[in-house]
A and B are shown apart, each in its own frame.
Chain A
Amino acid sequence: MRVFRLLGFRYLRVRAAIIVVVVSVSMLSTTTATILNGFYKCYTGYLGEAADIVALYDSGSSTPFTGLIPSRLADYISSIDGVLAFSMEVLAPCMIYDKPMIARGVYMDDFLKLTSIDIIYGSIPSLDSYPYALAGFRAASRLGIRPGVKLLVLGVLSDRYCEVRVEAVYRSDTALDDELIVPIDVGRWLRGIGYDYATLFRVRIDGSRLSLEGFTDRLASMIGVVDGSDRSESKPPRYTYISTSIGSIGISTIRGFMERYIESYGLTWWTITLLSLSTIIFSSLTVIVAFKILVEEHRFELSILRSLGLSMLDVRIDVFLKIMPYIVLSSLIGSILALALVELMEYYDTLRILSYTVSVSFDPIILLASIVSNMILAMISIAWGRMG
């Protein structure tokens, strides 16, 4: 391979400006892709990632917080063979210290069977009835609270309020870290619903004994028998979507539950990938111009190589091989800067969307995509440039 023998011939001077272009473009594409990826993962993993947990929800609601299903489902669920544990939950938008938050009403014992949380400060209270609260560490940091603090929580969808005492601060490394966990009744007051409703159920099923379809069939047959028998337990207040029709209860994996909501707003995995790619496409011309300048600046050296008998292809391959390490290094630096920027955004609380912090993590595929895209763009500009 004649072209590799040219590698020792050092004629290429890469301007700092060209490296800065690649660094900044990589930073932009990595920042966008990392945030969008984090956003998608954060919301689809909102209720956890476990494959053996299914969610029961109101399929007629447009957000995960506004649907309602009857609490009486708890009796049916508990009687199904193959159900290992379940948690009835109420999600309530609320205001605390003038900040929008989400309070999750749960039966603590049931909730802990399905969710793993690490207590950072304080301890888990023993009684469900007492108006206590457990604060996710991000929520606690945003509100500036620690165990022992009394919080006045104001309902947004209801004209109710509640004073709760913060008993613990926890960490779960999920979207729960932005929430306040309260007893289920407190959640109901803040959501403005009666004691016979909940927002959703999470159910852990034993996969060896019961499939999702089997669970759905069993539940449907049980509910079908008693549908409409006890609808008038309490009069629901305003701003409440009441799901009395059994047909409107959705059952899916917990991941599918959230995917359904965010996809209804156009945020599919494909649109997120497309949005990430668009930053690369839209900044591509800048990278092409940068490498075109590099080639233009070396037209004299390249013409000497041509006159020494090297073909156009050999010269192009040689230029490409010589700039490859710069591309890799610049893309790497750009990605590191992007991660630093994202960390900074997280630190300054600007990565919060719909009350949840988008937790971002380094994804090697994004870095690889950044390097590969920059290489392709360099190839295009080298192929386009005049080689002497």
Chain B
Amino acid sequence: MMLRRGETLLYVFSTALLVALPVATLSLSYPFRMYLEDLSSVEDTGGLYLVLQGSALSDSILDPGVVEVLRGFDHIGLIVVEGFVDDAILSLGDGGYPIHLRFVDDLKSYSKLIDLRVEGRVPACSSEVLVGVSLARLYSIRVGDRVGIILGSRSIDVYVSGLARSNSQCDYEVIAPMGLAEILGFDRLSMVEFRFKPGVGVDDALLELSRILPLDVRVYGTRRIGEYVYGIGEQIARFLYVWIIPVYIVLAVSSYISSMSLISGSAYELSIIKDLGAGRATVSLSILVYVALTSIIGSMLGLSIGLAGVQVASRIIGWIHPSISLTPILNVYDALIVFILSVTVSILGSMPHILGWVRMGSMGGYV
């Protein structure tokens, strides 16, 4: 052994203990991260999709060409084209109330699309509407009532053919056939709602859609559990990686101080090597190789200590609190990252002192 055993062991163990820290944290969080990753890879097929050309329903103006593209897309099952207004007025006997008004091109398909349950019947002509159950309750509207709808400068009296319930935004809206839009002078399309056909690979289909739709058209999906969980997992990963920074700062400082202890503690051995004729470059390279080897051993030991320590700790916690089940797992990728980072940081941390020693050593210092 080129340098002293005691100092070398200290170097190895101080590195190992610090490396054990991120190993323990990553292995403890791994099952949870994996759970999130599994969830995020679940492909959803039952979601409702919205296509907008704008950031909000009421601001969106959809090009009719987009509707044609969507209608021609093989993977889409149910599809409905809609107009949406958020500044219409519901005129009742005692005054006018602001409402959301939704024009739908095919009310039967729409009923299937959003699982709309109608008390009464679906409108049969342009002068009939559905009123959402919550809106109806708020203004005491019943099936068979006549209500006024004002949009801009135009108004019309319509017949309430049914009350609609879907446990959605529609419950507070008036839903009308697209024909009423023409009467009220509303001449644009706001959005398309659709569902994919059963068995369609949603991710691939969405990718294909994004290629054929104009850049300013966006497809929004509901029930995208995968995306949500991915976002949550990303938060946790980002937090862990940032938290690891101070650990590696300590590791760099620890390497610096350990190399200091290693070199000053082995001053006698190093002076002998020099006296035997070894040049400055040879001695410094030897120290560097030695430090690298001890860093590698320390990091490997750290991986084992971290994993074993967290296993023991989780068992103890499990005995104390039987309801808590922790299953730490060290993923190969995490282990490799921690190992490479630890060895690199350890070597970099000890470099300033080794270089300083070489400089001072050549001038007769230290040794």
Contacts and interface: CB of A to CB of B under 8 A. Distances in A.
Contact of B222 (A31, A154, A263, A265): A154
A238 B44 CA distance: 12
Given A154-B220, A157-B225, A161-B48, A286 B169 contact: no
B26 interface: no
Interface in A176-211: 185-186, 188-189, 192-195
Given A98-B227, A161-B48, A266-B317, A188 B253 contact: no
A137 to B, nearest CB: 18
B17 A284 contact: yes
B134 interface: yes
A373 B324 CA distance: 29
Interface in B218-242: 220-225, 227-228, 231-232, 235-236, 238-239, 242
Interface residues of A, number: 75
B246 A27 contact: yes
Interface stretch (B52-60, B72-80, B180-188, B273-281): B52-60
Contact of A159 (B47, B245, B258): B47
Given A156-B228, A158-B223, A266-B317, A31 B243 contact: yes
A271 interface: yes
Interface string A260-303: 00011110100100100011011111100110110011000000
Contacts of A265: 32, 324
B239 A351 contact: yes
Interface stretch (B152-160, B206-214, B259-267): B259-267
A189 B57 contact: no
B167 interface: yes
Contacts of B168: 160-162, 189
B222 A155 contact: yes
Given A160-B222, A161-B169, A266-B317, A293 B18 contact: no
A142 to B, nearest CB: 11
Interface stretch (A80-88, A106-114, A308-316, A352-360): A352-360
Contact of A285 (B14, B169, B265, B323): B14
Interface in B292-350: 313-314, 317, 321, 323-326
Nearest to A337: B246
A282 B223 contact: no
Contact of B58 (A93, A150, A188, A293): A150
A297 B264 CA distance: 9
Contacts, number: 196
Contacts of A345: 239, 242
B223 A289 contact: no
A135 interface: no
Given A159-B46, A353-B239, A185 B247 contact: no
A163 B239 contact: no
A100 interface: yes
Contacts of B227: 95, 98, 100
A93 B257 contact: no
Given A185-B134, A293-B257, A355-B232, A161 B222 contact: yes
B146 to A, nearest CB: 22
A24 interface: yes
Contacts of A355: 232, 235
Nearest to B306: A282
27 contacts: A17-B260, A21-B254, A24-B250, A25-B250, A27-B246, A27-B250, A32-B246, A93-B228, A95-B227, A100-B232, A150-B55, A154-B221, A156-B225, A162-B168, A163-B56, A189-B167, A194-B167, A263-B324, A265-B32, A282-B18, A282-B21, A283-B21, A284-B17, A289-B14, A292-B261, A345-B242, A348-B242
Top-8 shortest CB links A-B: A100-B231, A150-B56, A286-B254, A285-B14, A159-B48, A266-B324, A156-B228, A28-B246
Given A185-B171, A296-B261, 13 more contacts: A17-B253, A21-B254, A95-B227, A157-B223, A159-B46, A159-B222, A264-B323, A266-B325, A296-B265, A351-B239, A352-B235, A353-B239, A354-B235
